[in-house]
Amino acid sequence: MSVFYFVAFLSIFFALMTIFTKNPVHSVLYLVITFFTFTVHYILLNAQFLAVVNFIVYMGAIMVLFLFVLMLLNLNKDTEPLKSNLVKFMGVIAGMCLLVTLAASFRLLQISDPVVLKNPDIGLVSNLGKVLFSDFLLPFEISSILLLTAMVGAVLLAKNDPKKV
Report the distance separating Cα 25 and Cα 31, nearest Å: 10
Helix orientation angle between 24-44 and 63-72, rounded to the nearest 10 degrees = 180
Counting contacts by CB under 8 A, is residue 158 touching other proteins?
Answer: yes
Find the binder of other proteins among 16, 71, 97, 117 (CB under 8 A). 71
Cβ atoms 49, 125 nearer than 8 A: yes
Stretch that binds other proteins, among 8-16, 40-48, 80-88, 95-103 (CB under 8 A): 40-48
Q: Which of residues 135-154 bind other proteins (CB under 8 A)?
A: 137, 140-141, 143-145, 147-148, 150-152, 154
> Shortest distance, CB of residue 114 to other proteins, whole angstroms?
19
Cβ atoms 145, 70 nearer than 8 A: no
What are the angstrom distances between the C-alpha of 156 and each of 60, 126, 148, 151, 163?
25, 37, 12, 9, 14
Q: Of the two residues 15 and 24, which places its CB atom closer to other proteins in the complex?
A: 24
Counting contacts by CB under 8 A, is residue 8 touching other proteins?
Answer: no
Counting contacts by CB under 8 A, is residue 1 touching other proteins?
Answer: no
Report the distance separating Cα 56 and Cα 61, nearest Å: 6
Counting contacts by CB under 8 A, is residue 43 touching other proteins?
Answer: yes
Binding-site residue total for other proteins (CB under 8 A)?
A: 55
Cβ atoms 75, 90 nearer than 8 A: no
In degrees to the nearest 10, what's the CA dihedral of 51, 54, 57, 59?
Answer: -120
Report the distance separating Cα 2 and Cα 93, nearest Å: 38
Q: Of the two residues 61 and 87, which places its CB atom closer to other proteins in the complex?
A: 61
Residues forming the site for other proteins (CB under 8 A): 25, 29, 32, 43-44, 46, 48-49, 51-53, 55-57, 59-62, 64-65, 67-69, 71-76, 121, 124-130, 132-133, 137, 140-141, 143-145, 147-148, 150-152, 154-155, 158-159, 162
